[in-house]
Amino acid sequence: MPHLSSDMESCVEACTQCHHVCLETVTHCLEKGGEHAEAAHVQLLIDCARICQASADFMLQKSSFHGAVCGVCADVCEKCAADCERFGDDQEMARCAEACRRCAESCRRMAA
């Protein structure tokens, strides 16, 4: 991505990774069942995946709205990370929370 700044390139990568991890986590949660499969939690994972993809797309397109989309993405990622962390020792959930936190931090820089 030579046409993007290094910060933006890093953010696109963080968003793309978070998108993938959130979608993988949806499958994990549905397989685990119980609290993991609660509708609000699964919906948040899907919302996070979608906003991460949108955020990456806006940056790749050099959209003048990328900062606003990145700000929303950071908010959703932070909420998703907190929700995933409530599952304690579940490694997949911890992996998702980590990806969400990394994406949120990167998107905050883009939104500034």
pLDDT in tens, the chain (112 residues): 457 788 999 999 999 999 999 999 999 999 999 999 999 999 999 999 999 999 999 999 999 999 999 999 999 999 999 999 999 889 999 999 999 999 999 999 999 8
The span from the CA of 46 to the CA of 104, in Å, is: 16
- Please check whether residue 27 lies inside any domain of the structure: yes
If DSSP codes are grouped into helix, strand and coil, which group holds residue 102? Answer: helix
Confidence at residue 87, expressed as pLDDT on a 0 to 100 scale: 93
Query: 54 in a domain, yes or no?
Result: yes
Q: Does 62 map to a domain?
A: yes
Q: What's the DSSP call for residue 63?
A: -
Domain containing 94 equals 6-111
pLDDT value of residue 5: 86
Give the per-residue pLDDT at 34: 95
With respect to residue 48, please indicate whether it lies within any of the assigned structural domains.
Answer: yes
Q: Within its chain, how far is the Cα of 3 from the centroid? A: 23
Residue with tokens 């949108």: 54
State the total domains in the chain.
Answer: 1
Instruction: State the CATH number of the domain containing residue 105.
Output: 1.20.1270.360
pLDDT tens profile 78-106: 999 999 999 988 999 999 999 999 999 99
